[in-house]
Structure formats: C-alpha cells, structure tokens
Chain A
Amino acid sequence: MTGACGLDVVGLTAGYGDTCVIEDVTFTVPARGRVGVLGRNGVGKTTLLATLVGLTRRHAGRIWLGGNEITLMPTSRRARAGLGYVPQTRDVFRSLTVEENLRVGLKGRPVSALDEAYALFPRLYERRRHFASQLSGGEQQMLATARAILGQPSVLLLDEPLEGLAPVICDELMRSLDALSAKAGMTLVLVEQQIERALDFVETVMILDRGRIAWSGVAADLRRRDDVIETYLSIPHRH
C-alpha cells in the first residue's frame, strides 16, 4: 500500500461546466479514518467524490493527500498518488472476465497480487472466468472495489456501494470493507444512503445539503440527533 495517509480538503467548490454543485466544502479525514458522507439525493455527494478524483470542473479550493497537494493533478496521477475510487455506476469492463478486470488494476504488480482480491472477496474467485456482464449487481460491486484496492490506494472513495444490493450481499461487502480498514489500515470515505449501515461502519460523518456541509461530527452523536437526521436525511423517526 502507498502508506496510510489522510485527506485534507479546503474550500472546495466544483461542478459541471459553469454550474457549481458543491460549494466551499472543507473537511479532514485522518489517516486510517472512516468517514461517511450522507445526505439526500442530489445534494452533491457523488460530485464531491468525483471532484476529489478530478472528474469534474473545480472552481476553487485545494486538496491534499497525505500532505501532498493533488489539486492540479490529472485523474490518473491522483490514482497513482494513492487515491482509489469506486463509482456509483460500478464501472466494470463488461467484455472482460473477472480475472481480466482485476489484472487491469494491477498497475505493474505481479499477478500473484490477485490473491489479495480473492482473499477479500472469495466469491470473485469462484466467478473468475465469468464475464463481468454476467455478474450480479453485488458481484460487480465487489469486482469494482477489488480492482480499486489492487492499485493499493491509501485512501479509498466509495460511492454508494450498497445501492440495490440484497441484505446478505450488503453484509458480505461491509465485512470486507471492515477488514480493509481494520487490518490493511486503509482510509475510507463512504457515500451511502443506507444510514444505519453507514453509521455502524464509519467513525465520523458529514452531511451535505445543497452542496455545502450542513453538519459534521461523530457517528455516535448523529444517532442521538433526531433533529439533524429529520432535517437533512428525511427520516422522520428512528426506532
């Protein structure tokens, strides 16, 4: 791995073309930390992650990865600097097999490194000869995540990894992410709509609303803040 490092973002304003989707976003993710980004649909969560990897138009602000400024780097250099990204769309290469998809992510590492991905997601080993287009949604998510971690990122950005997955697959995926974070020391930034699962996993949370950070704090505190949850996450009452 590139080495555990954190992420520092200051005054980030970005969007598509002249339109700003996120405005003046400032936050810090400590090395080995787990941060959840929550918020309703359309508040800019996906745009925030896409901006961190350089896929949107940045209007202002700066980004540091482990002390190195990556603000002006193109996407490929950010990835080589240690920023991993698993997009919401689970962009696996559909015409390649599972193993070929993983080999694309090796970036010069020996083929034996695939064992890391198979150890983390044993299901992928069973399906290694299948084309990515033949996988279920959960398996595609595992593949996209596994391919990202083969690049040995120090910080992994995950955009709604649980969307559309069966509960049992969600459990399997979250266990794997837990192992990544706890044992491999990877810093994780998780955008998620499943609030309860996200709060079980992350240590700190920031809530976006209309492209700005509306609330941030410790995950355990958010559980007690029904007013915040009701205002920004559209969950009237929790039991």
Chain B
Amino acid sequence: MAPIPGRPAASPRPGCRSRGVPGRELVAPTVVAILGALAYLAFPDDLAFFTRIIVAALFVMSLDLVVGYCGVATLGHAVLYGAGAYAAGILCVDGLTDPLLLIAAGSVAGVVAGLVTALVILRAHGLPQLVLSIAVVQLAYEAANKARDITGGSDGLSGISPGPVFGLFEFDLWGRTAYVLALVLLIATLVVLRRVVRSPFGLLCRGIKQDPDRIRAIGGTIYGNLVKMYALSGAVAGLAGGLTAVTTGVVGLDSVSFEWSAEALVMLVLGGAGTLYGALVGAVVFTGFEHYVAAVDPYHWLFVVGALLIGVVLALPAGLGSLAAWLRRLLPQGAP
C-alpha cells in the first residue's frame, strides 16, 4: 500500500520511529557478564556449582521460549536437553574432543529432538498436550535406559574427556574454564534470544499464545511458527545439555527425565514466564536454594523449597522477576 499523503501535521518524522534506545538491548547481558565476573572473583571455589546454575538457566530459558512465549504446556522438555547431552557425550566417547564442536552437536541434536517432540505434542492443546509431553519424555527415558550399550543406561555415560577450548584452555580441576565457557555461552544466548523474542516472529508467537484466531485472521500460521520456536528451543536446550556433558564429563538418565522437566518448569514459574530474565532468576534462586538449604538440612530442605514456591506464587503470581516492578509500585510517587 502506498503511504497515505495529506497528514503532514501529525505524521511522524521520517526515521524517528521507535526502535528502542541504542545499546539498551545490551544492558541486561552486560549486567549478567558483570555479575558472572564478580562471582568468578568472589567465589573461586564454587565455580562448578555456578556452572551448574548456568546450565539450568539455559535450559529454563529454552523452556520459556515454548511455555512463556507460545503457551505450550509441556512437562517433557528434558527430551531436548537429554538429546543434546547424550549427543555430545557419545560423540566425545567416540573420539570427537573439540568442546565447541561437541556443544554445537548437542545443539543440533536438541533441534532434531525439538522437531520430533513438536510434531507429536503440538497436535494437542491444554491437558492432552501436557499428557503427551509426559509420554514423550517417559519414552525417551526408557529408550535411553534400554540403549545401555550407547548411553550407559542407568550407570550413566562416562569417559567423556573433551580437549582444551580453542586448543588452549584445558578443563581444570577448579572448573574455571568450564565456568567461563558457560558464562560466555549464556550471555551470547541471552543476546540472541532477546532479539528473537522481539522480532516479528517472536511477537507472532506471543500473539499465538494470546489469541490464535487473531493470528490466523492476519495471515499467520499457528503450527508452523510453533514448530519453528520449538526447534529454536531445542537448540538452546541441546546447547545446555551439550555444555553439561562437556563440563561435568558424565551424562546420566536424569538428564532425560520427567523430574528434570518438572524442575525446570518450577524454576520458570518461580522466576516468571515470558521474560527470559525470569528463567534466569528462577534458575539462580531455585538451584541456589537447593544447594545451600540442602547443605544446612539435607532431610527437610524440600519443605523449605515448597514453602518458597507457595509464597512466591501467592505473593508474586508473575514470578520473582516481577519483584522490581512490584517494589517500584510500593515507592511513593516522585521517589527517586
């Protein structure tokens, strides 16, 4: 359509359309980088634990893409993560030792698993979709268990010894290389995903979550776009899986379990769905809580985690990520 002439008075100036403040998109990844660097310096003995948190954050962000942005109900997301972990682990045992290639292979495996999962579970909606996702993860779990010659079954896949990153940085006993690699991948993923969710494709997916009929009426397809987002989610989940295989050297059946899927969903709800940062916050708080509270009281820590969840869901239904907005509302008008 040609632009409508004749409305000069109120028409926007050419080129002054809103695209956000330049560099604003980099604020959050920069904050994550600074916090990550501070954690590296302040807690050098806990780097392996922090790496585990980053892996969880990547996995929960991938879950956020389909749950928070597309409204897909799933409790089987570990299939995508497990595919990445096993792909990287098996390739490493078979002789491929470049850690970046292994992680990339994990990501590709995650995409394939995402596409296969999407073909099954996106055919249904709501509760049937949830049940299908559980069935898919249970099947994947059993398949991994039965294929013990390849996966190690319930003993887990061990003997994963990746070479140095870029041929220079060996994976050391203190987990420094693993942590830096994980942090860089987290920041890069965050930058990419922020762009994706704000792109017309990402907005279309959010539209699908809110009103699929309206998306159809403006010419958008539902299934195709959800499958695309699922594949992207698989890439991120597979990357997280590949990263854990490379950094820990083992892949267990728990990486493709219903429990891991459910735990990720809990982290997402805790942090807040549909924001990416919520996934980050949820992963940090849940994994941190699990780590420290379980150390203090190994028998009753789940009670505390349960109480935290109930408290957050009741007080902050949009998750801990919404805490900043909630605090802002509490401040008196005009407060700095």
Assess the A93–B7 pair: CB atoms within 8 A.
no
Assess the A125–B1 pair: CB atoms within 8 A.
no
Chain B residue at minimal CB-CB distance from A148: B218
Smallest CB separation, B207 vs chain A (Å): 5
Smallest CB separation, A104 vs chain B (Å): 5
Within 8 A of B (CB), among A86-109: 87, 91, 93-96, 99-101, 103-108
Query: In the complex, how many residue pairs between chain A and chain B have their CB atoms under 8 Å apart?
Result: 119
Smallest CB separation, B13 vs chain A (Å): 10
Smallest CB separation, A5 vs chain B (Å): 14
A27 at the interface (CB under 8 A from B): no
B2 at the interface (CB under 8 A from A): yes
* Stretch of A74-82, A192-200, A230-238 with 4 or more beta carbons under 8 angstroms from chain B: A74-82
Chain B CB within 10 A, most for which of A54, A75, A84: A75
* Stretch of A37-45, A112-120, A210-218, A220-228 with 4 or more beta carbons under 8 angstroms from chain B: A112-120
Assess the A179–B6 pair: CB atoms within 8 A.
yes
Complex Cα gap A233–B11 (Å): 38
Assess the B206–A96 pair: CB atoms within 8 A.
yes
Chain B facing A: main interface SS: loop
Smallest CB separation, A119 vs chain B (Å): 5
Contacts of B213 in A (CB 8 A): 55, 75, 91
Q: A91-B214, A93-B211, A100-B203 are in contact. Are A76 and B221 (CB under 8 A)?
A: yes
* Stretch of A10-18, A134-142, A162-170, A180-188 with 4 or more beta carbons under 8 angstroms from chain B: A180-188
Assess the A93–B220 pair: CB atoms within 8 A.
no
Complex Cα gap A149–B7 (Å): 17
Q: A116-B4, A118-B12, A179-B6 are in contact. Are A129 and B18 (CB under 8 A)?
A: yes
A57 at the interface (CB under 8 A from B): no
Assess the A75–B217 pair: CB atoms within 8 A.
yes
Chain A facing B: main interface SS: helix
Complex Cα gap A200–B207 (Å): 35
Complex Cα gap A119–B8 (Å): 8
A72 at the interface (CB under 8 A from B): no
Assess the B12–A103 pair: CB atoms within 8 A.
no
Q: A99-B18, A148-B218 are in contact. Are A116 and B1 (CB under 8 A)?
A: yes
Complex Cα gap A165–B307 (Å): 48
Q: A96-B203, A120-B7, A183-B4 are in contact. Are A79 and B17 (CB under 8 A)?
A: no
Complex Cα gap A119–B3 (Å): 7
Binding site for A on B (CB under 8 A): 1-7, 9-12, 14, 17-19, 198, 200, 203-204, 206-207, 210-211, 213-222
CB-based closest 3 A-B pairs: A122-B10, A79-B219, A75-B216
| Subset of 14 A-B contacts with CB under 8 Å | A93-B210, A93-B211, A100-B203, A100-B206, A101-B203, A104-B203, A105-B218, A111-B17, A115-B14, A118-B11, A119-B12, A122-B7, A122-B10, A148-B218
Binding site for B on A (CB under 8 A): 1, 53-55, 74-77, 79-80, 84-85, 87, 91, 93-96, 99-101, 103-108, 111-112, 114-116, 118-120, 122-123, 125, 128-129, 147-149, 151-152, 179-180, 183-184, 186
